[in-house]
Structure 1
Amino acid sequence: MMIYNTLLYYCYSPIANAEQFATDHLAFCKSLNLVGRIIVAEEGLNGTVSGTAAACETYMRHLKADERFAKTDFKIDEVTEPSFIKMHCRYKAEIVHSGLRDTSIINPNEKTGKYLEPAEFSEMLDRDDVIVLDVRSNYEHNLGKFKNAVTLDIENFRDFPDQINALAKYKDKKIMTYCTGGIKCEKASALLLHHGFTDVYQLHGGIIKYGKEAGGKDFEGKCYVFDNRIAVDVNSVNPTIVSTCYNCGKTTPKMINCANPECNEHFTQCDECGDNLQGCCSVECTTHPRKRPYDGTGYYVKVPQQVAKA
């Protein structure tokens, strides 16, 4: 039986000629028959790739052999099949979009929250002087989050800077930030420090590493991931389900994308409503002429939206 791995990683490290690097790196990944999604920017790399265990091992060795990426921390999941269909490696302005390009405000290589390893994070969770801050989007924390975590009403991470004033009431607390793999916390914690928060921490390696090293204790629900698995189990110590069906309110751990590609809403839906609504979030979406066939997974290869002709 073939063994496949999925690698989740990021590395803040300056890349000269990042656009050309993205082109060359895509060719290298394809030479290993990897699939996945990598974002390349002048500030570093952010990637999830999947392939055979041997190909993934070669990829990790190759990346770490480059001194710019030697300290990259890979989160490795064993999977039954590759977690993507295609391989994309794209050049963008940021490896996680914050909308803040001023490095005097955010530069994770110079100033960011103090790392907490999973065991340390777990030990601090119940302290009275601590606030646990989820810096992810609504659809992510609706599926799962740490118990008693403060969550933000944001659709994308670029909305996070607008939440700083609402968080000011926690300035006298220790702020422990967390996200899926750690990358958003690098910028979120840096921004909090810039705005006068003095005791800021981040979960090193994010929820995924916490699940592997601390058993996921006190993480409620599932963790949203950006590949065709959509959600993964984290907690093997005291697991629970916290998400509910968007349509009927029944408890369900299942998250899908709406089968209407022009909606593509991320939402939780039970199997019964999924069957009744053909994987759509509403009756209206079931009538859309471009509705995708629902196979029960709710994962679809991205389809570009059609542009109306003048």
Structure 2
Amino acid sequence: MKQYQTLLYYCYTAIENAGQFAAEHLEFCRSINLVGRIIVADEGLNGTVSGTREACKTYMDTVLADPRFAKTDFKIDDVDEPSFIKMHCRYKAEIVHSGLRNPAIINPAKQTGKHLEPKEFMEMKDRDDVVILDVRSNYEHALGRFKNAVTLDIENFRDFPARINELAKYKDKKILTYCTGGIKCEKASALLLHEGFKEVYQLHGGIIKYGKEAGGKDFEGKCYVFDNRLAVDVNSVNPKTISTCRNCGKTTSKMINCANPECNEHFTQCDECGWKLDGCCSETCQAHPRKRPYDGTGYYVKVPQPVNVSKKLKLIS
């Protein structure tokens, strides 16, 4: 049994004084020696945290005991070591950046696409009247995606609303949306419904849950994750590598961040090119004076941003 776990989760729910809650929640996580990245907004909570099995259980029990977060669905991975180095918990305008901040129009707590459990999704995805829609960014679906999925040319999820007109030809189809853990689908499916799509569904728990409960069938490639693992296996039924090295074109599933911090682009690169270019996407970035040392992983710790912590902190109850 592995000693550590990584938890992926989100919950759309109203949080009063969310900035203060973020500060208090950070101290709580540090008190039980968790590491990870959590975003807190007025609209809810979104995080990936990692630590010992005991610490992760304490965290889940505490979060679920709070009525606001009682329906939080935790995706749990057993890992050999913590998936982060530091603990961050920050207040932001949204728990996933979409630019859709008008709750009168888009409010996942009130209306989203119908949630499909992994086995339901698997049974529906190949029907003639169904379109599978990947709502993730280019670098994510380039690494791995469902067979026959429709993808959009977006650098970030905030670009999704501007691309929605490209999907108009599918309005007479059932739209099955998916993403890593489900959070992006909440707003994507809500927007599709708002734009007149009649039958919109979303994969509950995302790709990660689908891998655990449906064997990942027909998910081709690996799944990008937002921690130091960068990419994880999903498909244990019919796995296939679909991504290629940006530099030489060789088949590879290794995802890295460019070693030049002013670039920091996410891309796939084989080990040979990685060492040749010191983990950079190009010779230009390799020559950059701020280039970070490359250790073969392509993962770099972000510099933490300051968080205002009150003198009297209260753990969530």
Match of 2:15 in 1: 15
Matched, 1:38 2:27: no
SS of aligned partner of 1:36: strand
SS of aligned partner of 1:281: coil
Once residues 157 and 26 of structure 1 are traced to their aligned partners in structure 2, the CA distance between those partners, rounded to angstroms, is: 26
Q: How many residues align?
A: 304
TM-score (norm 2): 0.95
SS of aligned partner of 1:82: coil
CA contact (8 A) 2:2 2:78 kept: no
Q: Which amino acid aligns with 1:105?
A: I
Structure 1: 5+ residue stretches without partners: 305-310
Q: Which runs of 4+ in 1 moved over 4 A?
A: none
Matched, 1:251 2:258: no
Deviation at 1:100, TM superposition (A): 1.4
Match of 2:230 in 1: 230
Deviation at 1:2, TM superposition (A): 6.5
Q: Can you list the C-alpha shifts for 1:264-300, whole angstroms capped at 9, x where unaligned?
A: 0100000111111110000011111111111110001
How do residues 212-227 of structure 1 correspond to structure 2 at under 5 angstroms? 212-227=212-227
Match of 2:137 in 1: 137
Match of 2:108 in 1: 108
Once residues 89 and 285 of structure 1 are traced to their aligned partners in structure 2, the CA distance between those partners, rounded to angstroms, is: 30
Q: Can you list the C-alpha shifts for 1:26-60, whole angstroms capped at 9, x where unaligned?
A: 00000000000000001000000000000000000
Structure 2: 5+ residue stretches without partners: 305-317
How do residues 192-231 of structure 1 correspond to structure 2 at under 5 angstroms? 192-231=192-231
Query: Which has the higher mean CA deviation after the structures are superposed, 6-15 or 98-107?
Result: 98-107
Q: Can you list the C-alpha shifts for 1:47-103, whole angstroms capped at 9, x where unaligned?
A: 000000000000000000000001100000000000001000000010001111111
Match of 1:276 in 2: 276
How do residues 128-207 of structure 1 correspond to structure 2 at under 5 angstroms? 128-207=128-207
Once residues 286 and 87 of structure 1 are traced to their aligned partners in structure 2, the CA distance between those partners, rounded to angstroms, is: 29
SS of aligned partner of 1:28: helix
CA contact (8 A) 2:115 2:201 kept: yes
CA contact (8 A) 2:113 2:202 kept: yes
Deviation at 1:104, TM superposition (A): 1.6
Once residues 116 and 84 of structure 2 are traced to their aligned partners in structure 1, the CA distance between those partners, rounded to angstroms, is: 30
Q: Which amino acid aligns with 2:273?
A: C
Kindly tell me: are residues 2 and 175 of structure 1, through their superposed partners in 2, closer, same or farther at Cα, counting changes over 3 Å?
Answer: closer
Q: Which amino acid aligns with 2:14?
A: P
TM-score (norm 1): 0.97
Match of 2:294 in 1: 294
Deviation at 1:303, TM superposition (A): 4.6
Once residues 258 and 97 of structure 1 are traced to their aligned partners in structure 2, the CA distance between those partners, rounded to angstroms, is: 22
Deviation at 1:222, TM superposition (A): 0.1
Q: Can you list the C-alpha shifts for 1:99-156, whole angstroms capped at 9, x where unaligned?
A: 1111121101111000000000001111010000000000000000000000010000
Matched, 1:64 2:64: yes
